Structure 1
């Protein structure tokens, strides 16, 4: 009888062994983020997979229980138990994110090229100049702006990482993305503190938006003073998007980079990260266009801190009148500049 039982057990173990995977399941975290393996892993973050762990590049099908070392087998709670994020992420990641980014990369520059051909660059007299930005303003702006632009460029590379075939190039972009994020995390808050007061919304910003800052005026001149403080409504939109939005990007990006959050938190982080990315890329194009092409000589404000009196009086009329009434304008005049 005993031998028959042992024979049956051996037969059962033999059958289980024959059906078992030939390679052991690898429970280690995939560190090749945004390389080929990571792209394959991300594809499997989706449908009908409400679990918290990623195993061997795919999600364990565990009927809604945790697979982590400390909570294995326990019912999921909080964001881990949220339904539908997998499906939503799969639809957005698989069908829409890259397409929307591609549309922004093509259509926004095309729109500005059309604007330039129709409405021309605006020209102002740069005789009398005023020092509107200090050396500290300029330094902090560029120390935040350069890594921020690099973050955007490498981010786009990562969005289209699968098209690039993953591998060394995309992982290099990933590493630069991370390093530049650290730089922006240092200088971004300094820029926020430096300009937050000047970027607070004002009632006249609504007027600026209604007339789109005068940029739809035909020809090279704008003669009507535009309702704007030191920063116009468009600049303020960019300020709040790249600072507060940028800080949210840092947090969600950290979750995605280190993958130390539950799978549903990673999905939600990826969705937020991409949607904010749409706004940031579109507004970055806008900021560059306005600074380099829309107004002749406008870049000088962020190179040497100077702005011509006519440009200041027309495009920043409220700020100009404020400086004049407070007696600060004359002190800001750059020696040697003239009508």
Structure 2
């Protein structure tokens, strides 16, 4: 009996020590997230069929039901992501077909004005290229199960998701570095001006239906460009912060289950908003505004483009050159 009690006490003490040790252990969320991303997109439920990935301290009852409820709505999340990218692109394409492009009233002059430095052009593409890759890979990760999986075999979809996760994680780093530099460097030209309100009221002069509207006054950046810049800055920083938390949870200390879920929700919502704005930005620069794309290819713009779209800035440049 004494031996039995001693053995029982030994087992109980060992169990108590194990429980005490388990309580002190942090709740590592990253292995679960990684497992879910590779297994079931976009079911970000925080659960796994591999018990080895769950810490003994994990208590399902401690997780916010609101967070899980949002993330469990896989079809809703997929549709939001689809709408922010594909639907916005289609709607804007229809708008351009009906409204027409914003052509230069006096055509191209053939005279070029320096608008961006070589460094600014390079910086722009260091942000733009990773951003496009992140948008496309994010679409596969977040909306692929609903919108892409039915069109391919499970093996092909698995390979596509695996590659998308890999690309998403790799290109996140150069995007973060270049985006933060761009935000700081370009912010001085994106401050509000008195002419911005009138620009919005005139819708930038881009509406051709009912007669060509005159482009309102604008400085180096018009009100629409400023709106995109600050949207990019606010939600871009949200994506950067939450992305780093999800990629490297150990760097920022213990990341709780609720903390990881909240970071994921903010990441998704920010991506939806920024994705829609990015699609419009691409259309405006590459399609809608005649002569606009040249700005980010050579750093120069046609003189008539400058007069029509950024007349206050052009007048200032001309005054400095005299």
Task: Indicate whether the TM-score tops 0.5.
Answer: yes
Partner residue in 1 for 2:115: 132
Residue by residue over 1:121-151, the C-alpha shift from the partner in whole angstroms, topping out at 9 and shown as x without a partner, is 1222221221111111111111111111111
Partner residue in 2 for 1:213: 204
Partner SS, residue 113 of structure 2: strand
Structure 2 counterparts to residues 1-339 of structure 1, below 5 A: 29-30=31-32, 31-32=34-35, 34-36=37-39, 42-44=44-46, 56=50, 67-68=56-57, 83-90=64-71, 93-124=73-104, 125-127=107-109, 128-163=111-146, 164=149, 165=154, 167-218=158-209, 224-258=214-248, 261-325=255-319, 327-328=320-321
Distance 2:219 2:275 in 1: 25
Instruction: After superposing the two structures, state which structure 1 stretch, 142-151 or 254-263, moved more.
Output: 254-263
Pair member with larger Rg: 1
Partner SS, residue 201 of structure 1: coil
Q: Structure 1 residue 32: deviation in Å?
A: 3.3
Distance 1:95 1:280 in 2: 20
Partner SS, residue 291 of structure 2: coil
Distance 2:51 2:234 in 1: 33
Partner residue in 2 for 1:15: none
154 and 90 in structure 1: CA distance in 2 versus 1, 3 angstrom threshold = closer
Partner residue in 2 for 1:333: none
298 and 220 in structure 1: CA distance in 2 versus 1, 3 angstrom threshold = farther
Partner SS, residue 145 of structure 2: coil
Q: Structure 1 residue 97: deviation in Å?
A: 1.2
Q: Provide the aligned length of Structure 1 versus Structure 2.
A: 282
Distance 1:39 1:289 in 2: 28
Q: Flag structure 2 segments of 5+ consecutive residues without an equivalent.
A: 9-27
Q: Structure 1 residue 82: deviation in Å?
A: 7.4
Distance 2:36 2:46 in 1: 14
TM-score, structure 2 as length reference: 0.76
- Is the contact between residue 217 and residue 311 of structure 2 (CA under 8 Å) also seen in structure 1? yes
TM-score, structure 1 as length reference: 0.72
> Which 4+ residue blocks in structure 1 deviate beyond 6 angstroms?
57-60
Distance 1:300 1:38 in 2: 39
Residue by residue over 1:61-92, the C-alpha shift from the partner in whole angstroms, topping out at 9 and shown as x without a partner, is xxxxx954xxx79xx9xxx967443344345x
Instruction: After superposing the two structures, state which structure 1 stretch, 316-325 or 293-302, moved more.
Output: 316-325
Q: Flag structure 1 segments of 5+ consecutive residues without an equivalent.
A: 10-26, 46-53, 61-65, 331-339
Partner residue in 2 for 1:12: none
291 and 83 in structure 1: CA distance in 2 versus 1, 3 angstrom threshold = same
Residue by residue over 1:202-233, the C-alpha shift from the partner in whole angstroms, topping out at 9 and shown as x without a partner, is 232121112110111348965x3422221112
